[in-house]
Structure 1
Amino acid sequence: MFAIRSAAIAAAFSMLTIAAQAEEVVHKLAIHVDQNDPAVMNLALNNAENVRHYYEAKGEKVQIEIVAYGPGLNMLVAGESPVEERISAMSLESPEITFAACENTHRNMVKKAGKDVPLMSEAVMVPSGVVRLMELQAEGYAYIRP
């Protein structure tokens, strides 16, 4: 009887361990960039890399989204971004870091420029940067603004 109980307890413990592994926690971070300032852009990228390295060293997963709008959208303008090369390299090395571009801001940039303003291929257009940040926070993302 004791052996059967011990086996049942061991099996239950094993099932709990498997369930915990199946429900692996993914840390989530939203980073807000709304300034056309290379120092702010680099700080945002540094924050993303530091967080990714931290969780990678712990063997844990992380998802990071950098949301650019307003003057910060210049971070994602092809051929103009002061951090374009760094973003391209990061995207290749770190697929867990993504870049969201505000469509409202982009539309206004195009209107003001009177021509197309191409964004980097790494940028994913979202209807509104502010709304995207709200959605990410509702999904459990931590929020920082460098």
Structure 2
Amino acid sequence: MLRRLAAAAVLSLAFTASALATDKPHHIAIQVDQNDPQIMNLALNNATNVIEYYRARNEDVDVDIITYCPGLHMLRSDTSPVQDRIRRLKDFVFPGKIQFSACNNTRQGMEKAEGHAISVVSDATIVPSGVVHLMELQEQVWSYVRPQSSRP
């Protein structure tokens, strides 16, 4: 009798632990540091696929696409080749599920080099440093992805 109770208790704990594990929200940080439309679209594809996967499982996921160095062009309102897609994803497809972070260090460097103010798309959040933001997300146990071009 005691063995059955002990076995039932162990199984109950296992099921409870399993249920709690699936309630844990997922987090992914996607790095874009190249001025390459293929990389930018690949990052957006990765974000879309992750959000759709967890949405189908009724699980929460937070996505942050962090841009810095030449990758900031992804979020520049004057040079972004993907700004329409960003707006669609942020406002209509996945509201509240995806964040776009623009590095202020890079923006200031571009402003100095180009001699004029640089604005980012309205769907972006400016962070003091893209690299620091990425590092801090990883310290908070966010998963990390850096899309790579398949070009030589």
TM range (shorter): 0.7 to 0.9
What is the letter of the counterpart of residue 89 of structure 1?
R
What is the letter of the counterpart of residue 34 of structure 1?
D
1:144 aligns with 2:145: yes
Q: TM-score, normalised on structure 1? A: 0.84
Flag structure 2 segments of 5+ consecutive residues without an equivalent.
1-7, 148-152
2:5 matched to which residue of 1?
none
CA distance in 2, matches of 1:30, 1:139: 11
Aligned-residue CA RMSD in angstroms?
A: 2.4
1:76 matched to which residue of 2?
75
What is the letter of the counterpart of residue 105 of structure 2?
N
Cα distance per residue 1:90-109 (max 9 Å; x no partner): 11121211000000000011
CA distance in 1, matches of 2:78, 2:70: 16
Flag structure 1 segments of 5+ consecutive residues without an equivalent.
1-8
Q: Secondary structure at the match of 1:125?
A: strand
What is the letter of the counterpart of residue 109 of structure 2?
N
2:117 matched to which residue of 1?
116
2:26 matched to which residue of 1?
27
What is the letter of the counterpart of residue 108 of structure 2?
R
Q: CA deviation at 1:117?
A: 1.1
Runs of 4+ in 1 over 6 A off after TM superposition: none
1:86 matched to which residue of 2?
85
Paired-residue identity, %: 48
Q: CA deviation at 1:28?
A: 0.3
Q: CA deviation at 1:79?
A: 3.1
1:55 aligns with 2:54: yes
